[in-house]
Amino acid sequence: MKKYEEILKKHGIRPTFQRLTILKLIYERKEHPSADEIYELLKNTTPAISRATVFNTVNLLSEKGVIEEIITPGAIRYDYFYNEHHHFYCEKCGKVFDIEENLPDIPKIEYIEGHKITKIQYLLTGICKDCLKK
């Protein structure tokens, strides 16, 4: 847990037991869980965890740049922000996969039709190789 404590402190976040546990789960699992999935995975093993704690924690970690939000059709999912990469969302099974390949650059856009752009997300959508085999 020392590693996760250092990550939180580096981002100016007080390392509570619940925050450390949630960060550890996101860091170690590559399934890109939603807040509801995180809660379901932790509710029976983590004392004093609530759905509100999970939602508040993922929001805080996202705001501070510790984790990344991946907006998919079914839910907002979370990924530890370890390096710049993209994501692929399978329309059949709902899984999200990391894409490490170099993809065409996303143009930098600051404003569009009077709206200020603060984040651009590169999400590829289709059918994963496992679903294609079925």
pLDDT for 91-111, tens place per residue? 999 999 999 888 888 788 999
> Considering Cα of 38, then 96, then 98, then 84, what sign does the dihedral take?
negative
| β-pairing verdict for 86-90 and 123-126 | parallel
Which domains does the chain carry? 2-80 (1.10.10.10), 86-133 (3.30.1490)
CB environment 97-131: b (16+ within 10 A), e (fewer): beeeeeeeeeeeeeeeeeeeeeeeeeeeeeebeee
pLDDT, greater one: 63 or 30 = 63
HSE of 44, CA atoms in CB hemisphere, 13 A? 3
In tens, the pLDDT along 32-84 reads 999 999 999 999 998 789 999 999 999 999 999 999 999 998 899 999 977 77
